[in-house]
A and B are shown apart, each in its own frame.
Chain A
Amino acid sequence: MMKPGTRLKSAVCDAEIMIIKIAESADLSCGGQLMAEAPERTEGDGDRMHGCLIGKRYVNAEETIEVLCVKSGDGSLYYEGQELMTKDTKKLPSSD
């Protein structure tokens, strides 16, 4: 289980994420390799390198997990084998 606020790095690229919604399992990967707080750099899986973008929130289809990409990278994000997609958020007018 990973708590909100936990930050993880990709083992295959520069990507970094922060957990927003509690994740039941630790099976979060980027570019085909498990993410960790300080992973050893390794080769990515060429089929799983669609990139992830800073500032975007990623969720699975059931929205049981949500992460924030805090540093862009070349790998794409997977949770329990399922590719995460960006979450559509309603654009609000600036109120500050």
Chain B
Amino acid sequence: MNIALLLQMAAEACPDRCALTHEGRHYTFSELFAAAQRAAHHFLAAEVKFVALMDVSSPAVPIALMGAAMSGVPYAPINYRLSEAQLTPLLDRISPAYLITGSEIVAEDRSGWVVRSSEEFMSVVSEGEISDLAWHDDPSAVAVQLFTSGTTGEPKAALLRHEHLVSYILGSVEFMGADEAEAALVSVPPYHIAGISAVMSNIYACRHIVQLPNFDPQVWLTLCAEQSVTSAFVVPTMLSRIIETLQQGAMATEALSSIKSIAYGGGKMPVPVIEHALALLPQVNFTNAYGLTETSSTITLLDPDDHRAALEQSDGPIRARLGSVGRPLPAVEIEIRDEHGAVLPPLEAGEIYVRGPQVSGEYEGRSVLDEAGWFPTRDAGYVDDEGYLFLSGRADDVIVRGGENISPGEIEDLLHQHSAISDVAAVGVPSEEWGETIALAVVTAAGQSITEDGLREHIRNHLRSSRVPELIQFVNELPYNETGKLLRREVRAWFAAEAA
């Protein structure tokens, strides 16, 4: 069991089909497979511990991923936007590596390393004899090591073994399920789990991948039109920028005439954004996917029928599912537990636990799975009566005010619906009286205004009085990482600075 099998099968079944388009150049499945085999020989000859890639998306991404898999060397994609201070400790953890990068930060004097630009790498793997190679077929070998985004602390190195990734793909993707005219636009960065799963899923479906290295809504829409894109995955911030661009009339919705489906995930989608998207693009099938690095990507799906059923209602539990991440994949189980580990019934919020063959739950040699194989996600949420999962934020983000657990999502969801507010974050800050108290950072919508008292009044009228924030700051924007995750620790730091 080796993820390279996914590419081998695609190359066997559709050798001449277009697998990848990057900056106008096309690659067939057999070309990708041949390049990955050559890459595997280079990786073996380099005698390294890791194959690392620190660059934007390019054909080097699937080739390095699959070549590393064939050679039995773990693949470790790294965020190319990190500063030197952030990067050095990560590089120390994967030393020595065969590193593909355009960055000049990496010191040449690292002993045992091979450093190549994406262009150099592509030129060595594009031509030459292909000698036989006996693949490593150990299902429990590490295929991918991903540094998690570290929004709450030091990045952790999550390990994904071949068996986890292959289980995910075989369980969720139909082999050669795509016809020749289909094309998927991939704009998530290669160091994100969604970037890895996009490569594997589309290859196994034999679907043409169109790569967009740096997301920009206008370029995204232009590529959709030019390449007759039929499906795409976006993070919530990307979707809201695409919708804005369409609403401002900067691009016509006709640019999206070929697109049949859009999947979104990677962060919490504000309900108004998906409502706008559904209204603007009624012909598009929307799917909400929830997953984590440690679970090999998607574990729950809110499918297109769920979206349509929700839209048909003006309120009630089915309408509320627009704010849900859907139900588990067939091989995945979900449980909600309280802080003592007891399983909670529907509609009661607690920590989300997940189990299934795609769930790794392992960091650099340390598994956090419990004895029965359950992974504590550290995400908080609840399920409704029919098993639809609702997220209420990270378990670590829960504000404990005077012994009462308050989910920031509850306050944020309310305020996202307010026309005067374009973005909002609720965080807990230390308080002598309450232990923790609620602080609110608010971005006012263009041309609108609201006062601190107006905000407090609105919250008091709709939620309990314990949800009314003590501290409020009006800011120009909130801090997000590049995949759209809100950086709450930075928001907390604003209030800490104010208190000091």
Contacts and interface: CB of A to CB of B under 8 A. Distances in A.
Contacts of B177: 91
B194 interface: yes
Nearest to B169: A96
B95 interface: no
B172 A92 contact: yes
Interface string A60-90: 0000000010111000000000000000011
Interface residues of A, number: 23
A9 interface: no
A96 B198 contact: yes
Contacts of B170: 20, 57, 68
Contact of A5 (B12, B138, B201, B205): B138
Interface string A5-41: 1110000000000101000000000000000000000
A51 interface: no
A55 to B, nearest CB: 3
Contact of B289 (A57, A89, A95): A95
- Of residues A57, A71, A91, A95, which shows the largest number of chain B Cβ atoms within 10 Å of its Cβ? A95
Contacts of A70: 5, 8-9, 12
Contacts of B459: none
A35 to B, nearest CB: 16
A94 interface: yes
Contacts of B184: 94, 96
A18 B297 CA distance: 23
A19 to B, nearest CB: 8
A96 B303 contact: no
Given A18-B5, A55-B175, A94-B287, A7 B137 contact: yes
A95 B172 contact: yes
B141 to A, nearest CB: 10
Nearest to A91: B174
A4 B329 contact: no
Contacts of B139: 3-5
- Of residues A3, A4, A5, A7, which shows the largest number of chain B Cβ atoms within 10 Å of its Cβ? A5
Given A4-B1, A5-B138, A93 B303 contact: yes
B118 interface: no
Interface string B1-33: 110010011001100000000000000000000
Given A5-B139, A55-B174, A18 B205 contact: no
B197 interface: yes
B202 interface: yes
B201 A96 contact: yes
Contact of B231 (A4, A71, A94): A94
B330 interface: yes
B424 interface: no
Contacts of B233: 95-96
A91 B287 CA distance: 14
A95 B296 CA distance: 12
Contact of A55 (B9, B138, B162, B198): B9
B265 interface: yes
- Of residues B1, B202, B301, which shows the largest number of chain A Cβ atoms within 10 Å of its Cβ? B1
B197 to A, nearest CB: 4
Contact of A92 (B12, B202, B297, B301): B301
Given A92-B303, A93-B287, A93-B303, 18 more contacts: A5-B163, A7-B137, A18-B1, A54-B13, A54-B176, A55-B9, A57-B170, A70-B8, A72-B13, A89-B330, A93-B261, A95-B201, A95-B233, A95-B263, A95-B297, A95-B301, A96-B184, A96-B200
Interface of B: 1-2, 5, 8-9, 12-13, 137-139, 162-163, 170-177, 184, 194, 197-198, 200-202, 205, 231, 233, 261, 263, 265, 285, 287, 289, 297-298, 301, 303-304, 329-330
7 contacts: A54-B12, A54-B175, A93-B261, A93-B263, A93-B301, A95-B265, A95-B297
